[in-house]
Structure 1
Amino acid sequence: MYSSEYYVPSHITGFFVPFFSDDCFKTGSTGAGVSLSSGLKTRIIIVKGNGSIDIKINGTKTNAPVSLNCVNLIKEKYPNFFMNKDILVEHESDVPIESGFGASASAVLGICFSIKDLIKISTEDCIRIAHETEVRNFSGLGDVVAEVKGGIEIRRTPGIDGAIENIPANDLKVFAISLGMKKTESILKNPEKVKIIEKCGTKLLNRLLSDPNVENLMECSKTFTYKTGIISKEILEIIEIISEVNSYNAAGIMIGEGAFTFINEEDKNKVLESLIDVKGDIIVSPIARGLL
């Protein structure tokens, strides 16, 4: 029997520009976001069997197509290690699933790094397999590279080898509230919506690069939220509530049904009290370091 586990941070995107290529490793996104220490733990158990693959999320057996496709991609690349083997994947998530927290990227990175010691693949190959899985499934474009980098990041160029730089975070934490699920592919497969995102996101990336700090990141992210029309009216109302009492603007979680901002200890209670009547999942998390 082989058993291993790995914990990967989650990630929130404030704004982005998608880039598509016939080469999945050049496909990705530019933009900016932040990695959260609250993330997802993956455990892999491999035993002799008939080749079955079972996946559980928070203890419940589920279909989980992105994780399943990641395991199948690994089996396809390294078939000799998985002949007559059953594979159990157990994900335990500290953030909402399919809600804009990059949980699918956390899951596939967790699978790749958990299985790394069994098949002796490099760290670089783990990242490439995770990114390829995300791109193939339209579940994310920039979350894998962002979670590997960690911190508050600006993705200057797209793809697996894209240029990424960090913005200093000081002692800030990430505050996020989620009201439910939203499929990333529902946006990425909408050509009209993608055109709006590309135009708006490109301008905002240049604005952030000219003055890379947390305040400007949140201003750019809030502008993106309103200009693209991705976020619901209910979330827009929450964004205004938070922005009114917090030292930093709030913005929509891309792509999810939620909002996020950065908070210091002085503002934490004010923000929580302002949302006391809102029903949703609230996450207050330190900013994560990178995987490497």
Structure 2
Amino acid sequence: MVIKITIPLHVTGFWKPIYAKTPLYTGSIGAGINLSECLTVYAEKSSENTLFYNEKKIHFPTIDYVFNKIPCRIKVRAYSKGVLGAGYGLSGALALGVSIAGLILCKEKTTLEEAASRAHVAEVLASTGLGDVIAEYYGGFEARIRPGPPGIGMVVKLPVDPSVRIVAISLGTYETRAMLQQYGPKHGLLASSYLDQLLKNPDILYFMELSRSFTKQLFDYSLAEKTISPIRRLILDYYLKKRVLVLLVEKDRVNDITDYLEKNNIGYIVSRVKYSGVEIEY
């Protein structure tokens, strides 16, 4: 039996790490957007644990942890347009896909939330993410108001104007561990304040403004601003998460923007906000 699991890619805009005594209660609060451009996972039982991403065999500590926790062996083939390490929450999505696949194929006597918890713990222990798993599990334009995985953490979904689209551009890679190391107390205070402000004014354009203000304190915007300078007038707003440049645009401007990107050999993803999270097909 082959099962199919789809998981939205996630780009957070601002965040505050919350560290607890156990990985289950460690996580982040903040806000982000889940993309309709998903990670698609196909999984089946096998003689050994293997993971292929876009046809390339890969392994890293986050996934090794999940494989070691499931009671049978599975082969996983995963596909998306996202770049690992750029800022799309792919390590969390892959961990979530492998963990849920293990739950179903190994016939574990447990819940989807507990499978998601396993993926969350793997992310925390490997320092590859703090809030992506819970965000991707539920989907939407989300505010994470309590840290942890599904069942422990808490998210609220915020409304989105259906006429807007997201254009995401990959500008390289940037390790999450390195990002967390340069994160200081002032960033946490700012993220908490921005979360409160967003909940009082749950508007995606306001979210973009807050996210740009927040991430400018962490990331170098010079390449991002150079990339979009000729098309800035077509963009409602933008921010940079690690090395993913996120553009909020009106849907009737998408073609003009993508024409420019293609002429300049700049890779991109066009997406809507995906309001559902993990989806499973048999």
- With structure 2 as the length reference, what TM-score do the two structures score? 0.88
Root mean square deviation of aligned Cα: 2.2
Distance 1:119 1:181 in 2: 36
Residues 63-96 of structure 1 deviation map (CA, whole Å, 9 limit, x = unaligned): 333222211133xxxxxx43xxx53222222322
Distance 2:259 2:185 in 1: 38
Residues 8-51 of structure 1 deviation map (CA, whole Å, 9 limit, x = unaligned): 1110111111111112121111111111121212223323x4xx
Find the counterpart in structure 2 of residue 77 from structure 1.
none
User: 1:257 and 2:253 equivalent?
Assistant: no
Write out the 4+ residue segments of structure 1 that deviate beyond 6 Å after TM superposition.
none
Q: Secondary structure at the match of 2:171?
A: strand
Residues 109-153 of structure 1 deviation map (CA, whole Å, 9 limit, x = unaligned): 111222222223311211111111111111111111111121111
Find the counterpart in structure 2 of residue 147 from structure 1.
136
The change in CA–CA distance for 1:283 and 1:185 in structure 2 (over 3 A counts) is same
Which residue identity lines up with residue 245 of structure 2 in the other structure? A
Residues 209-244 of structure 1 deviation map (CA, whole Å, 9 limit, x = unaligned): 221111110110111122x23234212434665553
Distance 1:112 1:163 in 2: 20
Distance 1:232 1:39 in 2: 26
Find the counterpart in structure 1 of residue 187 from structure 2.
197
Find the counterpart in structure 2 of residue 78 from structure 1.
none
Find the counterpart in structure 1 of residue 107 from structure 2.
119
Residue in structure 2 matching 1:165, options 149, 153, 156: 156
Distance 1:110 1:37 in 2: 16
Find the counterpart in structure 2 of residue 69 from structure 1.
65
Find the counterpart in structure 1 of residue 127 from structure 2.
138
Find the counterpart in structure 1 of residue 90 from structure 2.
103
Q: Which runs of 5+ in 1 are unaligned?
A: 75-80
User: 1:177 and 2:169 equivalent?
Assistant: yes
Distance 2:79 2:262 in 1: 27
Q: Which runs of 5+ in 2 are unaligned?
A: none
Find the counterpart in structure 2 of residue 87 from structure 1.
74
The change in CA–CA distance for 1:128 and 1:268 in structure 2 (over 3 A counts) is same
> What count of residue pairs does the alignment treat as equivalent?
273
Which residue identity lines up with residue 260 of structure 1 in the other structure? V
Contact 1:16 1:30 in 2 (8 A): yes
Residue in structure 2 matching 1:237, options 223, 226, 230: 226
Among all aligned residue pairs of Structure 1 and Structure 2, give the percentage whose two residues are the same amino acid.
26
